[in-house]
Amino acid sequence: MKFLDEAKVYIRSGDGGNGCVAFRREKFIEFGGPNGGNGGRGGDVIVEAADGLNTLIDYRYQQHFKAQKGGNGMGSDRHGAGGKDIVMKVPVGTQIFDEDKETLIHDFTTVGERFVLAKGGNGGFGNAHFKSSTNRAPRHANPGQVGEERWIWLRLKLIADAGLVGLPNAGKSTFLSAVSAARPKIADYPFTTLHPQLGVVNVDGREFVLADIPGLIEGAHEGAGLGDRFLGHIERCRVLLHLVDASCEHAGKAYKVVRGELEAYAETLADKVEIVALNKIDAVDPEHLKKQKDRLKRAAKKTPLLVSGVTGQGVTEALRALVEVIGEAPVSDKAKSAAEAKPWAPIG
Ligand X SMILES: Nc1nc2c(ncn2[C@@H]2O[C@H](COP(=O)(O)OP(=O)(O)OP(=O)(O)O)[C@@H](O)[C@H]2O)c(=O)[nH]1
Chain contacts with ligand X (rule: CB under 6 A): 166, 168-174, 186-188, 190-193, 214-215, 279-280, 282-283, 308-310
Q: Between residues 13 and 173, which has the closer beta carbon with respect to Mg ion?
A: 173
**Binds 188: which of Mg ion, ligand X, none (CB < 5-8 Å by kind):** ligand X
Q: Residue 252's beta-bridge partner residues?
A: none
Element (H, E) at 314: none
Q: How far is the CB of 305 from ligand X (least distance, A)?
A: 13
Element (H, E) at 9: strand 2-12
**Binds 190: which of ligand X, Mg ion, none (CB < 5-8 Å by kind):** ligand X
Contact positions toward Mg ion, by CB under 5 A? 172-173, 192-193
The Cα–Cα gap between 144 and 39 comes to 6
Q: Between residues 15 and 212, which has the closer beta carbon with respect to ligand X?
A: 212
- Known binding residue 308? Answer is yes
Q: Which letter, b or e, does each residue of 145-176 get, where b requires 16 or more Cβ atoms within 10 Å of its Cβ?
A: bebbeeebbbbbbbbbbbbbbbbbbbbbbbbb
Q: Pairing mode, if any, of strands 2-12 and 149-157? A: antiparallel
- Known binding residue 111? Answer is no
Q: Between residues 66 and 172, which has the closer beta carbon with respect to ligand X?
A: 172
Q: How far is the CB of 214 from ligand X (least distance, A)?
A: 5
- Known binding residue 167? Answer is yes
309 contact partners, CB below 8 Å, separation of at least 6: 171, 174, 175, 177, 178, 279, 280, 315
Q: Residue 64, exposed/middle/buried by CB under 10 A (0-12, 13-18, 19+)? A: exposed
- Phi, psi dihedrals of residue 118, rounded to the nearest 5°: -150, 125
**Binds 16: which of ligand X, Mg ion, none (CB < 5-8 Å by kind):** none
Q: How far is the CB of 312 from ligand X (least distance, A)?
A: 9
Question: DSSP H helical segments within the chain, as ranges?
Answer: 58-61, 172-179, 251-265, 267-270, 286-300, 315-328, 333-341
- Known binding residue 215? Answer is yes
- Known binding residue 306? Answer is no
- Known binding residue 171? Answer is yes
Q: Between residues 91 and 196, which has the closer beta carbon with respect to ligand X?
A: 196
310 contact partners, CB below 8 Å, separation of at least 6: 171, 174, 178, 280, 282
How many CB atoms within 10 Å of residue 247?
16
DSSP string, 194-223: -S-EEEEEEETTEEEEEEE-----TTGGGT
- Known binding residue 169? Answer is yes
Q: How far is the CB of 317 from Mg ion (least distance, A)?
A: 22
**Binds 310: which of ligand X, Mg ion, none (CB < 5-8 Å by kind):** ligand X
Q: Between residues 90 and 178, which has the closer beta carbon with respect to ligand X?
A: 178
- Known binding residue 166? Answer is yes
Q: How far is the CB of 209 from ligand X (least distance, A)?
A: 17
Q: How far is the CB of 341 from ligand X (least distance, A)?
A: 35
Q: Between residues 15 and 261, which has the closer beta carbon with respect to Mg ion?
A: 261
Which residue's CB atom is positioned nearest to ligand X?
Answer: 215
Q: Can you say which residues are annotated as belonging to the binding site for Mg(2+)?
A: 173, 193
Binding-site annotation, residues for GTP: 166-173, 191-195, 212-215, 279-282, 308-310
